[in-house]
């Protein structure tokens, strides 16, 4: 097991310049969400779509699930034509029906066979290949889209993915006892909302915990963009806050006995 977590996309719903939609890949085979740019992210990372074994759905907003029909379409007609590669989807109760409606709207009848072959899992805890255990927990976001964060545990280390979430104790209680957190920062400070983190709430969290924070789902355009959609100015956070670019990697170092971070972009 590679024990490598890649943040393949780091943008929020508005797709900041130089970023694809927020997407995380675990060990080259488990995705967190399936955003509209999921195929582009996998192509850029040279990951065969048929290698994907699991999709962990954080919630049912479009920038997190609208790539799902295209992922199935690619597997059916290109990378897994014989249907030999199993796929599981971890989703909240009722999510299966919403994803089916999405597939039917996109390609009526074409995806029924591959959709029905999926291993659908709605439980709160589970385990995937290599002994990677997971647990999902409710977070602060739009209730209608069933928002969850996830905690993942390897034998050597653990991490949390916030999904889309504003500040909430259900998320923060998980942050205390993990090695790092992939956390969204979807809005600037001038946007008043309790459904996303902003630079100031990330600052408060960084002051509360020393756990490394990896920022994704950001509204900030990538550095070096000549015509930013919003801004390229990143807030000045403490050193344990990592503002990720697409391709940011977290991996376990056997030599150092700790998690290391690499911003490859």
Q: What CATH number is given to the structural domain containing 250?
A: 3.60.15.10
pLDDT tens across 181-234, in order?
999 999 999 999 999 999 999 999 999 999 999 999 999 999 988 889 999 999
Residue 12's domain spans which residues?
A: 4-262
Lateral strand order in the sheet of 180-184: 125-128, 132-138, 148-153, 158-161, 180-184, 213-216, 241-243
SS3 166: strand
For the chain, state the CA radius of gyration. Answer: 18
Between CA 215 and CA 213 the distance in angstroms is 6
d(CA 132, CA 13) in angstroms, rounded, equals 29
Distances, alpha carbon 166 to alpha carbons 53, 115, 142, in Å: 29, 32, 10
Cβ atoms of 186 and 218 within 8 Å: the answer is yes
User: Measured in Å, how far apart are the chain's first and last C-alpha atoms?
Assistant: 24
Structure tokens at 1: 């097991």
Q: How many domains does the chain have?
A: 1
> pLDDT tens across 36-49, in order?
999 999 999 999 99
List Cβ neighbours of 193 (8 Å cut-off, separation of 6 or more). 166, 187
Q: Which residue in 97, 133, 100 sits closest to 115, CA to CA? A: 100
pLDDT in tens, 127-170: 999 899 999 999 999 999 999 999 999 999 999 999 999 999 99
Whether pTM > 0.85 for this model: the answer is: yes
Helices (H), the chain: 38-44, 62-65, 68-74, 95-106, 112-116, 169-175, 199-208
Q: pLDDT band for position 2 (50/70/90)?
A: low
Average pLDDT of the segment spanning 95-112: 98
């Amino acid at each position: 097991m590679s024990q490598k977590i890649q943040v393949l996309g780091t943008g929020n719903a508005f797709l900041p310049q130089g970023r694809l939609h927020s997407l995380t890949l675990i060990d080259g085979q488990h995705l967190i969400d399936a955003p509209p740019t999921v195929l582009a992210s996998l192509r850029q990372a040279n990951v065969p779509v048929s290698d994907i074994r699991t999709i962990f759905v954080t919630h049912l907003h479009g920038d997190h699930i609208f790539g799902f029909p295209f992922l199935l379409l690619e597997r059916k007609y290109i990378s897994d034509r014989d249907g030999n590669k199993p796929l599981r989807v971890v989703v909240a109760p009722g999510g299966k029906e919403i994803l089916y409606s999405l597939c039917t709207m996109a390609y009526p009848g074409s995806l029924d066979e591959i959709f029905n072959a999926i291993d659908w899992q709605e439980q709160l805890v589970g385990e995937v290949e290599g002994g990677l255990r997971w647990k999902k927990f409710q977070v602060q976001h739009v209730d209608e889209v069933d928002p969850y964060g996830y905690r993942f545990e390897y034998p050597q280390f653990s991490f949390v993915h916030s999904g889309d979430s504003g500040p909430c104790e259900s998320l923060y209680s998980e942050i205390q006892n993990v090695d790092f957190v992939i956390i969204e920062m979807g809005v600037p400070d001038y946007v008043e909302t309790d459904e996303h983190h902003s630079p100031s709430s990330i600052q408060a969290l960084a002051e509360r915990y020393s756990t490394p924070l990896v920022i994704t789902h950001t509204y900030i355009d990538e550095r070096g963009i000549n015509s930013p959609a919003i801004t390229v100015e990143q807030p000045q956070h403490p050193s344990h806050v990592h503002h990720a670019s697409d391709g940011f990697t977290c991996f376990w170092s056997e030599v150092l006995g700790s998690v290391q971070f690499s911003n490859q972009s």
